[in-house]
Structure 1
Amino acid sequence: MRTLVIVAVVAALVLGCQQSRPTNPLAPPMGPAVRTLKEEGDQLARSHDWAGAATRYQTALNRESSNLELRLAFGITLSHLDRREETVEQFKWVVNHSQPGTPEFVMARTWLVEAGELEAVRSTSAAAATDAPSASIEATPRGGVRGMTSWPGVTPRERLVPLRITLTGEDKENRDVTLGRRFRLGEPYRLADARPGKYRLRAVAIDQNVELWDKQVVVEAGKETTLDLSASDSSVSPREFSPAN
């Protein structure tokens, strides 16, 4: 099982920058011993010692099994070890115990979508939305986003540059929506079957692990929004990202 690029991206965020992130005020703080195990696991993960990191996180979870931060880190580590069933278990837990739209929820849910495990996942908020009178929302025609990707010096026939494009809902009605597919840089892309609303579209060059685009887009009912992705509107310059060289 291949490790998804989004896991690697979030791993860098979670394992490298956690000290600067605000803690969840509703979550109990880690005890000193568990915090030490977590920090040791983070250090091992940064060194790509995934087996060692998994051991530290597992030991910490044995003491504090309801800690979201530990569950997320453990799931990321397991994905690098190709321990699929255990990874699925951890990310399902994260989805079911985090708020839709948060980085933790989006990352875990996107991984599960890619792994084909989405049907088995149902968060508390999603369950409530399903049980509530939401027929009008479900009956609303879906929309999508499409466009052309381009980059100086990149021609798909001459050089394959895999691109991961992800569409994540940002409204109350679509926060549980995450769509993602692989495309080739220099070719058209299309993401369909999205509920109307505001979305965040992100595109990452998979092999280089470089985020080329991070855009806001609005999907209208029954329509496909056109959003072309080119170097002129990327946060990365052609000098910084030159896969053709």
Structure 2
Amino acid sequence: MELEIRDIQKRYGKKQVLKKAGLTAGKGQCTGIIGANGCGKSTLLRVLAGAEKADGGGIFLDGRKISNPSREMARYTGYIPQESVLMPELTVADNLKLWASFGDYRENLKRLADLSDQFRIKDFYKERVKNLSGGMEKRVNIVCALLHEPEILLMDEPSAALDLVFKQELKMYIRDFIQKGGSILLSSHDEGELSLCQNLWAIKEGETHKVPEGLSIEEITSKYIA
């Protein structure tokens, strides 16, 4: 499924974070978003996930404009934010059951078994989330986002707090996901993750810019991040 955004705008009080954001994330592709801290990368992903409402612009899926992003985008997207979406007082198992209850519960439980093996979270199912390490909690958040077999993944610094083993596991999942025709929009500072992207977009001064192919990391940093 192709995701396209046109002229997305978002303001917090007097601060215009996104002025004119537009990009395309093609089917079967990983599309990267780069930019300086605070440039609006996370804001854009929250808008696309339906977690926040844009002040202007449009979101399109396969050319069709989405009229109610807060409801419709949840049907097609899996969202891995920087911050945890889990309830800290509940156990990992209870959090996962809660997420599995959205949609086809039986099918979600089947996928949960496979994902739990892949990201090795079964060993701490009975632990309360508040007692987990940052890496453990991130792995559970990733599993929650993947439970419903989304067609589009929105990933905001997804490997943050993960150790090397699970960074590699996540990269393998990303490769497999796009090979099967999924679309990924990925915000990251990790060169390894960005190397998986077929296209790069930069956010600077509230606007998006297509990064030309062939630029070195130093050139990209100098032009779009510094």
TM-score (norm 1): 0.31
TM-score (norm 2): 0.33
Greater length-normalized contact order (CA 8 Å, ≥ 6 residues apart): 2
Larger Rg: 1
Higher strand share: 2
